[in-house]
Amino acid sequence: MMGTGIRLGRIAGIEIRLQWSVVIIFLLIAWSLATVQFTLIPGSSATARWVAAVIAALLYFGALLAHELGHALLAQRKGIEVESITLWVFGGVSRLKGEAEGPADEFRIGVIGPVVSLAVAALFAGIWYLLGALGAPALAVEVARWLALINLLLGVFNLLPAFPLDGGRVLRAWLWRRRGDRAAATRTAAAVGRAFGVVFIAGGLFLFIAGAPVNGLWFALLGWFLFGAARAEESHVLLAAALRDVRVAQMMTANPTVVPADLSVQDYVSRAMASRFTSFPVVDGSGAVVGLVTMRLVRAAMARGQQHATVGQVATPLGQVPVVSPYDTATHLVEQLQQAPDGRALVFDGGRLVGIVSPTDLQRMLDLALLRPRAGR
């Protein structure tokens, strides 16, 4: 979900993206400020209010980006690769390729975001005071005041121990240090996060019934997000813990059957029916792998009336297929599969195709890994 959106550029080598939902939230913030908040300022024209509202909304999302950059840049200093930052309807998400090595790093990376937000709040509070002392236009003073308060709210909210909010990650770091078990700490922190989600949903329903439907809807959506995100994060961490000692070679289907790029879609169906597989690496005339064809792609092609197209034309190009080594860890594979459109990866050893990993392979190994006795992480 977080890997899509509008690409804005890079900061310190980190790709910055924007979900389309942010455009809607930006417009809602600007509209609310221009038509409600700033109408309380005497002597301000509608044009001036809208200009101030747009500037305030832009600075707000700039502060959100600063919050996420705090996490990302500190993670980089701790040796964790940061792939991207995506701003979306509930704030921002930093996509990290790796995890903190210990609870101390987990704590620092978690707490830096709220610290940045509180520092931004202090900055705008100072600007608010300075503009007031200098007799600046009341609209400019109100923009600074609103930005100070909204960033204070953002910093305090993110300190709630509701995993996966920053406060929840701080809670996990504390539990991790106390118990010496990251997976157990994640389970407890995720349970707290889900509890907060239920409370927010219940609060939203109460507000809706009490006659505040807009606020009620926001609370309910936020609760739904917290509940779902806590469960997803817990699943990801426990999956990584279960597969921590597993190598790709233990999971893959070795020596996969390949199909030529000039094979027709109709002939692919016949080939798949004669095999227990439905996904095949695609090779060109020289035998080089050029892509991966799956049942989903073939079904879509047939729905478009492309029965006579070749699998080379409908296959996912090799550059878009996750490629791993048989010696890579399973956790590295899982990270790569998060970007895979078909949930599959090809395995190469020294430039030679040696295997393929499918969701079935991953589930089989996970089922076996979960049968092992738990040990401290």
CATH 3.10.580.10 maps onto the chain at 248-369
Distance (Å, whole) CA 275 – CA 286: 24
Pick from 251, 321, 253, 233: nearest CA to 282:
321
Indicate if the pLDDT at residue 3 is higher than 70. Answer: no
Q: Which fold has domain 248-369?
A: CBS-domain (3.10.580)
Weakest-pLDDT range from 41-50, 122-131, 240-249, 305-314: 240-249
pLDDT at residue number 1: 41
Greater model confidence, 268 or 48: 48
Quote the pLDDT of residue 373. Answer: 56
Residue 375, pLDDT above cutoff 50:
no
Active site residues: 68
Average pLDDT, the chain: 86
Provide, rounded to the nearest whole percent, the portion of the chain with pLDDT above 90: 35
- Whether residue 20 is predicted with pLDDT greater than 90 in this model: the reply is no
pLDDT-based confidence at residue 203 (cuts at 50, 70, 90): very high
Say which residue the tokens 């917290």 belong to.
226
Q: Encoding tokens for residue 119?
A: 């520092």
Indicate if the pLDDT at residue 350 is higher than 60. yes
Q: What is the pLDDT of residue 96?
A: 73
The mean-pLDDT minimum among 18-22, 58-62, 175-179, 207-211 falls in 18-22
Residue 2 pLDDT > 70, yes or no?
no
pLDDT at 338 > cutoff 80: no
* Statement: residue 60 has pLDDT above 90: yes
pLDDT recorded at residue 377: 42
Amino acid 195: pLDDT: 93
Sorted by sequence, the CB contacts under 8 Å of residue 125 that are 6+ apart come out as: 144, 148
What is the arithmetic mean of pLDDT over 291-318? 87
* pLDDT (tens digit per residue) in 204-225: 999 988 888 878 888 888 888 8
pLDDT of residue 333: 82
Q: Is the peptide bond before 164 cis (omega within 30 degrees of 0)?
A: yes
Average pLDDT over residues 86-102: 73
The answer to whether the CB of 341 falls within 8 A of the CB of 316 is yes
Residue 339's pLDDT band (cuts 50, 70, 90): low
More confident residue, 58 or 337: 58
Residue 372 confidence (pLDDT) above 70 = no
Task: Say what the pLDDT of residue 56 is.
Answer: 95
Q: What is the pLDDT of residue 376?
A: 42
Percent of the chain, pLDDT > 70? 94
Sign of the dihedral defined by the CA atoms of residues 260, 266, 267, 270, in that order? positive
- Do the strands 6-11 and 14-18 form a parallel or antiparallel pair, or are they unpaired? antiparallel
- pLDDT one-digit tens code per residue, 131-186: 999 989 999 999 999 999 999 999 998 899 988 889 999 999 999 999 888 888 88
Looking at 75-84, 233-242, 292-301, 311-320, which range is the least confident one? 233-242
Say whether pLDDT at 90 is over 80.
Answer: no
